[in-house]
Amino acid sequence: MQRHPMYDDDTETVRDQLRRFVAEEIEPNGEAWEEAGEFPLELFRKAGAAGLLGLGFDEEYGGAGGGILYYCLAREELARGGFAGVRVGLMVHGIGLPPVLALGPDEMKKRVAPAVLAGEKLICLAISEPEAGSDVANIKTVAKRDGDHYVLNGQKMFISNGMRADYYTVAVRTGGPGMEGLSLLLVEKGTEGFEQTPLMKSGWWTSDTATLYFNDCRVPAENLIGEENAGFRGIMNNFNLERLGIAATIVGSTKCIFEETKHYASERQTFGKHLREHQVVRHKITDIAMRIQAMEAMLDSAIWRALQGDKAIPEIALLKAFAATEHEKCAADAVQIFGGAGIIRGSKVERAFRESKILSIGGGSTEVMKDLASRQLGI
Ligand SMILES: Cc1cc2nc3c(=O)[nH]c(=O)nc-3n(C[C@H](O)[C@H](O)[C@H](O)COP(=O)(O)OP(=O)(O)OC[C@H]3O[C@@H](n4cnc5c(N)ncnc54)[C@H](O)[C@@H]3O)c2cc1C
């Protein structure tokens, strides 16, 4: 069945390429990488060479073009492969790079973007802090101007690719309290006074997550991304993009759950019948299909609006909240259908269930999304 008319022969060609990349490069190794807690850096270079990292980014800076539609397509198809940790790790540039391209000076864009999109360098986004997750305006990491440098002091928390990145797009306080005093700075790995330690997680094992420490860390003033004290708007615009990307990811992941569960229920027999022949089981799988339809419709509507130049802030917030909540239900139902096999490590369904919670927290929690949407809708 035709999805939305914006998906055409070109998008389907790219979709096929993405599926091939997943089948050839990720599927054969994903399980072993999960257990090892890391995937090789070489995968970035392969993804860069295949044009995958550049999807949605301007050709002028080494991207493959296609805008927001291709940005989302890449995330949906990678997630469909069922190895979320690999997908997250590989695509962190999708949140770290856009502020550089939207607000950074030309020299910075040319220096950073082509290397990142080729998979030769890694960039990440460092907004969250121990006391500022949902409450972004409460950021405490200070960047004090000293001659032609900023001197950074503070901590960042839960930063994806925080151990392996070369570039860090960091939110800092350059002015007074609240949202008006925030700026974005590009910090490079190896800068004196900048350290990282790893964090262990319940899921996404192959994606590294870190705490960052800045102790009198001197960063050149020309590494400012955008204008001083005007960082909050850039952060919020980036969140909107991130949330749309997360929603696309959730659609892909839910499709993976659906396919795995449908297959299992067609193979496994109880009481002399295949599982899917029990109406209760069949309806559970049908409910997953129903939720996918709803998520897809909301996602495509949001992408379409974004393509028309509408920021669609409340729609994207509600999409992210809805998709994450429904994904959790789908993952739980899928494990129920797998029975004991859904609890034992090593299946895509077991991993999706274990990793479903983060989707309701990262990039703006469900509660915060509803709060944002309610304010925007005047509720
Ligand atoms: C695996 C992982 C990867 C991450 N990657 C990154 C990254 O790359 N870069 C980055 O900057 N951050 C990253 N984060 C951080 C993530 O964005 C935050 O965890 C998220 O924004 C929530 O912040 P918090 O954890 O501090 O929770 P808190 O803000 O402390 O919230 C705790 C709970 O309270 C609820 N809550 C808070 N405020 C309200 C309110 N006003 N009304 C109702 N309920 C409320 C929340 O919904 C949540 O349920 C990552 C997190 C994880 C777990």
pLDDT tens digits, 6-29: 999 999 999 999 999 999 999 999
Q: Which residues are 219's β-sheet partners?
A: 150
CA distance linking residue 283 with residue 286, whole number of Å: 5
Does position 207 have pLDDT exceeding 90, yes or no? yes
What is the predicted pLDDT for the residue at 253?
Answer: 98
In the chain, what are the domains?
9-117 (1.10.540.10), 123-229 (2.40.110.10), 233-376 (1.20.140.10)
Is 180 noted as a catalytic residue in this protein?
A: no
Give me the pLDDT at residue 10, please.
97
Ligand 1, CB cutoff 6 Å, lining residues: 124-128, 133-135, 158-160, 201, 204, 209, 358, 361-365, 367-368, 371
Sign of CA dihedral 160, 162, 165, 167: positive
- Distance CA(296)–CA(322), nearest Å, equals 11
| DSSP string for 10-22 | HHHHHHHHHHHHI
Mean pLDDT of 335-347: 96
Average pLDDT over residues 282-310: 97
Q: Which listed residue (34, 76, 77, 242) is catalytic? A: 242
The CA dihedral of 25, 30, 33, 38, to the nearest 10 degrees, is 70
pLDDT exceeds cutoff 80 at 1: no
Q: Are strands 209-220 and 194-198 parallel, antiparallel or unpaired?
A: antiparallel
On the CB side of 141, how many CA atoms lie within 13 Å of its CA? 30
For residue 324, pLDDT over 80 is answered with: yes
Say yes or no to pLDDT of 267 above 90. yes
The preferred substitution site among 184, 239, 368 for testing ligand 1, maximizing ligand atoms within 8 Å of CB, is: 368
Mean pLDDT of all residues in 223-227: 98
pLDDT at 2: 79
Distance 325 CA to ligand 1 centre (A): 15
Band the pLDDT of 32: cuts 50, 70, 90.
Answer: very high
| Interval 278-291 mean pLDDT | 98
Integer angstrom CA distances of residue 274 from 262, 281, 282, 289, 330: 11, 10, 10, 19, 20
pTM over 0.85: yes
Q: Cα angle vertex 32, ends 75, 325, to 5°?
A: 40
| Residue pLDDT, tens place only, 75-106 | 999 999 999 999 999 999 999 999 999 999 99
